[in-house]
């Protein structure tokens, strides 16, 4: 990283994150904040600044991934087929994946779960202090599922044939909160791509989720729900869960509940992993994996979520060998191609709504005076072709917290 006290971006088209049309301006960063956005920064303020000539490119707020898995092991630079590395190596992979995210313009990440929550908490600290390159990070627990055996063990048995155990859920949330995570994740439904035929099976009882929600509020942590099944989505909303992943088979009642909660809830539909399962996995999906049904359902449900004013955010379960970290911004292309977003709407989801899902909407996700200086300079116009954001060489400069992670050549 290249520390600098002040940086001036000139000759740029500013996409400020609100979704409005870009506008020509100069943007001044002093310390870690944006301090001026104007047609011409006064001489006395620009004299000591490092000047970056944008060459007519587009300056964006730093991009946010709302479903990040740093510990799955695979990036565009390293492929982990089995994900059975010892914990020490997995910890290094978490750090590696954080740097790869930042290299690709992801300056903030909302974790979707990590088998080593202590490691993710440590990575959050290292990224924030700047001695290890990586995004702003909201750290998460491992993904609690029915039976709560151990991280990475999922058989998704559902609730039939077992007694409800709200105390166990409360203990899990407390234990994770005491480790220092920001987020506790619960698999409220199964996952057919992992255990065939389980995506529509609810994994917890209402009283269990209520106990988790009460404990989360007590400890000041957020809850995230893995929720494909309609009833699991309803359960998440009823109990105040903040972020809902997938939302695949939401029915009318679930959509109504989400709409009523739209001021407090976020939905990440994860098109990236669906696309990868369809087209880039090492083998053909078997019928019980429901890959095609999932793709069809999510293409229908997301436009309805948007129509109802629910904040839909990108984050596509990247980290698998066939869906590696570093491809994250393909979600924006899929938001356009699958869900009918305009490029500006997709970018707003990754910037303004991204700042909001990070809980920092008053200082992150927009190019606005006083906001944190997380910025990406693009050599070109992503509003004309959203796919260019997937070309690492087109990201001419990447700044996080006022510090240049990547400077123009």
Q: Tally the C-alpha atoms within 13 A of residue 252's C-alpha that lie toward its C-beta.
A: 0
Question: Nearest-CA neighbor of 57 among 274, 382, 404?
Answer: 382
Rounded Cα distance between 249 and 229, Å, is 5
Kindly state whether residues 294 and 316 are assigned to the same domain: yes
Question: What's the rounded mean pLDDT across residues 299-303?
Answer: 98
Shortest CA distance to 223 belongs to which of 138, 97, 317?
A: 138
Residue 51 has pLDDT above 50, yes or no: yes
Task: For residue 306, name the pLDDT band (cuts at 50, 70, 90).
Answer: very high
**Is 168 in the same domain as 231?**
yes
Within a domain: 1: no
Q: What pLDDT score was predicted for residue 155?
A: 75
> 161 and 148: one domain?
yes
Check: CB of residue 8 under 8 Å from CB of residue 342.
no
CB atoms within 10 A of CB 131: 9
Containing structural domain, residue 154: 63-357
Query: Is-contact 55 304, C-beta < 8 A?
Result: no
- Cα(104)–Cα(80) distance, rounded to whole angstroms? 20
Q: In this predicted structure, what is the pLDDT of residue 325?
A: 97
Q: E strand or H helix at 175, and its extent?
A: helix 166-179
- Compute how many other C-beta atoms are within 10 angstroms of the C-beta atom of residue 45: 15
Q: CATH number of the domain at 40, please.
A: 2.30.40.10
**pLDDT value at residue 42:** 87
10 pLDDT higher than 90: yes
Q: Could you tell me how far CA 348 lies from the centroid of its own chain?
A: 13
Pick the closest to residue 116 from 83, 146, 81, 145 (CA basis). Answer: 83
What proportion of the chain, given as a percentage, has pLDDT over 90?
A: 83
Residue 1: per-residue pLDDT:
47
C-alpha span between 306 and 332 (Å, rounded): 15
In a domain, 130, yes or no: yes
Are 153 and 16 members of one domain? Answer: no
Q: Does residue 2 register a pLDDT over 80?
A: no
Same domain, 245 and 183: yes
Residue 243 is assigned to a structural domain of this protein: yes
Which residues, 6 or more positions from 134, have their beta carbon under 8 angstroms from its beta carbon?
95, 98, 99, 101, 102, 123, 126, 127
Instruction: Assess whether 172 and 304 both reside in one domain.
Output: yes
**CATH number of the domain that 172 lies in?**
3.20.20.140
How many Cβ atoms sit within 10 Å of the Cβ of residue 355? Answer: 25
Sheet holding 243-246, edge to edge: 140-144, 183-187, 222-227, 243-246, 266-268, 311-312
Q: At residue 270, does pLDDT exceed 70?
A: yes
Query: Are residue 10 and residue 111 in the same domain, yes or no?
Result: no
Q: Nearest to residue 229, comparing CAs of 147, 294, 141?
A: 294
DSSP codes, 139-166: -EEEEE-TT--STT------STTS---H
Same domain assignment for residues 271 and 152: yes
Of 350, 383, 376, nearest in space to 105 by CA = 376
Report the distance separating Cα 316 and Cα 193, nearest Å: 14
Count of C-beta atoms within a 10 Å radius of residue 50: 14
- Considering the domain architecture, whether residues 14 and 100 belong to the same structural domain is answered as no
Q: For 170-227, what is each residue's pLDDT tens digit?
A: 999 999 999 999 999 999 998 898 888 889 999 999 999 999 999 999 999 999 999 9
Q: Each residue of 356-404: pLDDT tens digit?
A: 999 999 999 999 999 999 999 999 999 999 999 999 999 999 999 999 9
**Residues belonging to the chain:** 409
How many Cβ atoms are within 10 Å of 81's Cβ, its own excluded? 11
Q: How do residues 312-360 score in pLDDT, each as one tens digit?
A: 999 999 999 999 999 999 999 999 999 999 999 999 999 999 999 999 9
The verdict on 206 and 343 lying in the same domain is yes
Task: For residue 25, report the phi and psi dihedrals to the nearest 5 degrees.
Answer: -165, 170
Cα–Cα distance, 182 to 349 (Å, whole number):
21
Question: pLDDT tens-digit profile of 145-186?
Answer: 766 556 666 777 788 878 899 999 999 999 999 999 999 999
How many domains does the chain fold into? 2
Record the pTM: 0.95
Same domain (yes/no): 45, 104: no
Residues 177 and 287 in one domain: yes
Computed over every residue of the chain, the mean pLDDT equals 94
């Amino acid at each position: 990283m290249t520390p600098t006290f002040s940086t001036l971006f000139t000759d740029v088209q500013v996409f400020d994150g609100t979704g409005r049309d870009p506008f020509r301006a100069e943007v001044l960063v002093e310390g870690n904040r944006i301090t001026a956005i104007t047609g011409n920064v006064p001489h006395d303020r620009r004299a000591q600044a490092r000047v970056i000539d944008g060459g007519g490119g587009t300056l964006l707020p730093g991009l946010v991934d709302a479903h990040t898995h740093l510990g799955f092991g695979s990036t565009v630079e390293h492929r982990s087929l089995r994900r059975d590395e010892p914990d020490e190596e997995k910890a290094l992979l978490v750090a590696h994946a954080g740097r790869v995210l930042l290299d690709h313009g992801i300056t903030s990440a909302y974790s979707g779960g990590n088998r080593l929550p202590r490691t993710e908490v440590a990575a959050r600290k290292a990224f924030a202090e700047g001695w290890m390159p990586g995004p702003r990070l909201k750290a998460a627990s491992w993904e609690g599922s029915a039976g709560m055996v151990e991280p990475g063990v999922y058989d998704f048995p559902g609730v039939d044939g077992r007694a409800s155990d709200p105390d166990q859920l409360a203990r899990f949330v407390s234990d994770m909160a005491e480790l220092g995570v920001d987020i506790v994740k619960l698999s409220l439904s199964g996952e057919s791509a992992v255990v065939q035929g389980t995506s529509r099976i609810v994994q917890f009882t209402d009283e269990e989720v209520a106990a988790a929600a009460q404990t989360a509020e007590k400890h000041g942590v957020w809850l995230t729900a893995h929720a494909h099944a309609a009833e699991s989505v309803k359960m998440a909303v009823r109990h105040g869960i903040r972020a809902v992943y997938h939302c695949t088979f939401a029915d009318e009642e679930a959509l109504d509940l989400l709409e009523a909660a739209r001021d407090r809830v976020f939905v990440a539909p994860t098109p990236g992993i669906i696309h990868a399962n369809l087209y880039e996995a090492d083998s053909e999906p078997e019928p019980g994996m429901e890959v095609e049904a999932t793709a069809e359902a999510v293409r229908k449900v997301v436009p309805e979520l948007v129509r109802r004013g629910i904040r839909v955010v990108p984050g596509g379960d990247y980290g698998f060998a066939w869906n590696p970290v570093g491809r994250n911004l393909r979600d924006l292309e899929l938001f356009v191609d699958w869900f009918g977003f305009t490029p500006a709407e997709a970018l707003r989801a990754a910037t303004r709504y991204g700042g909001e899902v990070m809980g920092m909407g008053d200082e992150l996700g927009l190019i606005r005076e006083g906001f944190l200086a997380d910025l990406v300079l693009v050599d070109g116009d992503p509003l004309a072709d959203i796919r260019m954001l997937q070309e690492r060489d087109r990201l001419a400069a990447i700044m996080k917290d006022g510090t240049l992670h990547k400077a123009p050549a």
